[in-house]
Structure 1
Amino acid sequence: MKIALVITGLDFGGAEAQVVRMAIEYKRRGHFVTVISLTPPKQYAEHLKSLEIDVFSINLGNLTCVYREVLSYILYVRRLSPDVVHAHMFHANVFTRLMRPICDTHFLISTAHSTREGGRLRELVYTLTKNIPDLTTNVSRKSLELYEQKKLILKSKSRSIPNGIYSRLLSKRRVRSEQNIFTFLAVGRIVWDKDYPNLIWAAKLLSIQGYDFRVLIAGDGELRQEVDELINNLGLGERVVTLGLTREVYKLMDESNVFVMSSQNEGLPMALLEAATSAMPCVVTDVGGNSEIVRNGIDGFVVPPHNPFALAYYMSSFIRMNSDEMFDMGNRLKNRVDTLYGIDAIIDIWLQVYESRSGR
């Protein structure tokens, strides 16, 4: 089967990482797969090419030559004649819908990776084009329900299919050391969606209460300077540290005690799945698919968004918790995620969808 995965851009991010994993697994199972980026790739391209996976990119951001870029895409897709065109994220979803008649796309899927992909204008565009794809999916059930309520998708042509994760074989049990400071880890781009001010204010409340801890934020983004300024203005320079982009995320997870997510907008976050398969206890906000992954009080804690008081309370609950309780909670979460979100099972679902709808 020929599969074309189309994405807005290849950069650090959960959706991008998921598309790359899908491409690798399709290739491993003997399918021809190409990854099409609508903007010049910033990550993953060389890695994909080293695995003999085609990477084709245009630059829709170059408005002076946009017609040439669009023509390049049309010629590539028509020459390839894929059985499936599977688009991911807003711009790729809309672009492939508009290009479908010209490219004679046999089977088109649009996948959203978030509960909120923009304001009313984007929602209007989705509404006006919702009849074009053969199938529209979202990575979380809650997000899909919201899209249905807003009439952004057709219920008869939509379903939820979650992200998939590679399970980790942990060589040792995470042990809480009395000598080391209690460490919370947050992973994700420093953007509006992640609401890091919520986390920083929660850290301030913990500091006022006299807890000994630190918060590490692994990521970068357009709001990093504002976040760093808030950290310094609240006198948390020694408590909260932004690390920037790092390839050592799993190492940080192994060295930290609890994963924390303060977001106000999510889909089914890959960082949370990675923390879960690392057997990290988690405290997350109740947005997107977070509560589909973490069961409150069983696998971790789920708190309301925009509420640093609630976030601080459950972060302090982990600080007070003994090591055995934390280990059991993290282990339950790992077992659950490895079972429900294993990459092999998710790829099986996607290939069944492709084969049933494409007629191959």
Structure 2
Amino acid sequence: MNVMTTIDDIAVLHTRIVTGTGGGPEKTIFNSPRYMRGTGYRELACYLRPPDDPGFAVLRQRAAAKDCPLIEVDDASAFSLSSLRRLAAICREHDIRIWHGHDYKTNLFGVLLKPFVGFKLVTTVHGWVKHTSKTPLYYAVDRWTLPRHEQVIVVSADLYERCRASGVPENRLHLIENAIDTEDFRRTGPAALAAGRVGVPPGRLLIGAVGRLSGEKGFDLLIRAVATLIGEGHDLELWIAGDGEARDELERQAVATGYGDRIRLLGFQADTVALFENFDLFCLSSLREGLPNVVLEAMAMEVPVLATRCGGIEAFARDGTDMLTVPSDSADALAGGLRRLIEDAELRRQLADAARGRIEAEFSFRRRMERMAEVYELLW
């Protein structure tokens, strides 16, 4: 059955559970509907979130900015029959033909609803990078649900192997890495002249980091590394954008280094393009990752990248060509990698140029959506 020519506007429902301002998957989900128009697919997003969650206002704004239809479902408990009933009603109202889950809970809900609603099941596995006491439960749910999906998409090579080991047949398993809208993420001028660098002295190098403020991101190690380099006499400043449960602890750590005026926690920043314009360097200090959007964004914005070798980064990185990598879970390793970049302006330029070229050639969002449509075609 050729859906591209015989059926118009097959409805796809992207489903996700979220609290607060969300994370990396939103960059893909909210950007998808406008790129899929004209392919025979009509995409909507449906988010389960706690009632009256104040952080969700940011997600509403982000969805509206990308012209992504967004449906909200109050979801106050771990397993809610009322949420299931509401989701079933949404699927019938919008004639949903493809349920596209993005996490363990929406995968489970999709499997449970399919016999009653009759849609096809697709999921994107973004990876569990935040480990809590509930992580084993999440993995157990995924091991049960993933083999029951018609198609499973993963964003990194390590997740491909994990899903294959969990019983997902390879003929249903697809590696489609995250991608970037290269027109949105395009540098407009040198970092030193960026309007957002208010208060940064001329000649000082600004190191940037972006992500949820939680332990797996390794920001405590990055703060230690930058404090070491400042102590050696390097003229540096560190900006960390993001919010999360570790913010108070990280702020105390920054002050305790004695360089609190040069290690700043910015909180959540909606305009990441403007943020990246300011950075001379970008550092991913994570202990666990898939293939993070922030690395692709930094590369697209021609910001030289230092990243820890974790998760999807190991297979993705071309070390010494379009980024530098160092071992994870080591402040000394981060300091060493940053030191090398700080002291070699030509290396920074070469990495930035190569990174932009690679993103344009291999990681454009339009190409990602073409591959997604090809996966949807396999359902019929």
TM-score normalised by structure 1 residue count: 0.90
Of the candidates 277, 297, 307, which is equivalent to residue 330 of structure 2?
A: 307
- State how far apart, in whole Å, the 1-side matches of 2:301 and 2:226 are: 23
How many Å apart are 1:292 and its aligned residue? 4.1
Query: Are residue 294 (structure 1) and residue 302 (structure 2) matched?
Result: no
Tell me, yes or no, if the aligned pair for 1:186 and 1:260 is still in contact at 8 Å. Answer: yes
2:122 counterpart SS class: strand
Q: Which residue of 2 aligns with 1:5?
A: 14
Query: Are residue 125 (structure 1) and residue 148 (structure 2) matched?
Result: no
Of the candidates 356, 359, 371, which is equivalent to residue 337 of structure 1?
A: 359
Deviations 1:321-345 (A, max 9, x none): 12x3311210101110121110010
- State how far apart, in whole Å, the 1-side matches of 2:350 and 2:29 are: 32
How many Å apart are 1:180 and its aligned residue? 2.5
Q: How does 1:161-310 map to 2 (within 5 A)?
A: 161-167=176-182, 168-173=185-190, 179-310=202-333
How many Å apart are 1:122 and its aligned residue? 1.7
1:346 counterpart SS class: helix
Per mean C-alpha deviation after superposition, the further-off stretch among 240-249 and 9-18 is 9-18
- State how far apart, in whole Å, the 1-side matches of 2:28 and 2:87 are: 22
Residues 181, 175 of structure 1: alpha-carbon distance in 2 compared, 3 angstrom cutoff: closer
How many Å apart are 1:143 and its aligned residue? 2.3
Residues 152, 303 of structure 1: alpha-carbon distance in 2 compared, 3 angstrom cutoff: farther
Residues 315, 50 of structure 1: alpha-carbon distance in 2 compared, 3 angstrom cutoff: closer
Q: Which residue of 2 aligns with 1:109?
A: 122
- State how far apart, in whole Å, the 1-side matches of 2:65 and 2:36 are: 15
1:306 counterpart SS class: coil
- State how far apart, in whole Å, the 1-side matches of 2:128 and 2:301 are: 25
Tell me, yes or no, if the aligned pair for 1:294 and 1:333 is still in contact at 8 Å. Answer: no
How many Å apart are 1:61 and its aligned residue? 1.9
Residues 27, 231 of structure 1: alpha-carbon distance in 2 compared, 3 angstrom cutoff: same
Query: Are residue 134 (structure 1) and residue 150 (structure 2) matched?
Result: yes
Residues 152, 243 of structure 1: alpha-carbon distance in 2 compared, 3 angstrom cutoff: farther
User: Match for 2:13: what amino acid?
Assistant: A
How many Å apart are 1:56 and its aligned residue? 1.6
Tell me, yes or no, if the aligned pair for 2:210 and 2:240 is still in contact at 8 Å. Answer: yes
Residues 110, 248 of structure 1: alpha-carbon distance in 2 compared, 3 angstrom cutoff: closer
Residues 320, 264 of structure 1: alpha-carbon distance in 2 compared, 3 angstrom cutoff: same
Residues 130, 117 of structure 1: alpha-carbon distance in 2 compared, 3 angstrom cutoff: farther
Q: Which residue of 2 aligns with 1:352?
A: 374
1:193 counterpart SS class: helix
Query: Are residue 94 (structure 1) and residue 108 (structure 2) matched?
Result: yes
Q: Which residue of 2 aligns with 1:36?
A: 46
2:70 counterpart SS class: strand
How many Å apart are 1:310 and its aligned residue? 0.8
Query: Are residue 143 (structure 1) and residue 152 (structure 2) matched?
Result: no
Of the candidates 47, 52, 60, which is equivalent to residue 45 of structure 1?
A: 60
User: Match for 1:207: what amino acid?
Assistant: I
- State how far apart, in whole Å, the 2-side matches of 1:48 and 1:310 are: 38
- State how far apart, in whole Å, the 2-side matches of 1:115 and 1:316 are: 31
Q: Identity rate of aligned residues, in percent?
A: 22
1:241 counterpart SS class: strand
Residues 265, 50 of structure 1: alpha-carbon distance in 2 compared, 3 angstrom cutoff: closer
- State how far apart, in whole Å, the 2-side matches of 1:32 and 1:131 are: 26
1:325 counterpart SS class: helix
2:177 counterpart SS class: coil
Q: Which residue of 1 aligns with 2:7?
A: none
Tell me, yes or no, if the aligned pair for 1:9 and 1:16 is still in contact at 8 Å. Answer: no
Residues 208, 53 of structure 1: alpha-carbon distance in 2 compared, 3 angstrom cutoff: closer
RMSD: 2.5
Residues 82, 166 of structure 1: alpha-carbon distance in 2 compared, 3 angstrom cutoff: same
User: Match for 1:316: what amino acid?
Assistant: R
User: Match for 1:265: what amino acid?
Assistant: R
Tell me, yes or no, if the aligned pair for 1:114 and 1:265 is still in contact at 8 Å. Answer: no
How many Å apart are 1:125 and its aligned residue? 1.6
Query: Are residue 22 (structure 1) and residue 35 (structure 2) matched?
Result: no
Per mean C-alpha deviation after superposition, the further-off stretch among 303-312 and 81-90 is 81-90
Deviations 1:211-269 (A, max 9, x none): 22111001111110111111122223123110111234222322221010101111111
Tell me, yes or no, if the aligned pair for 1:126 and 1:153 is still in contact at 8 Å. Answer: no
Q: How does 1:44-63 map to 2 (within 5 A)?
A: 44-46=59-61, 48=63, 53-62=68-77
2:348 counterpart SS class: helix
Deviations 1:138-197 (A, max 9, x none): 111122223434x26444432211112111343335569993311100011112221211
Unaligned runs of at least 5 residues, structure 2: 1-9, 51-55, 194-199
Task: Give the number of aligned pairs.
Answer: 354
Tell me, yes or no, if the aligned pair for 1:37 and 1:56 is still in contact at 8 Å. Answer: yes
Residues 190, 133 of structure 1: alpha-carbon distance in 2 compared, 3 angstrom cutoff: same
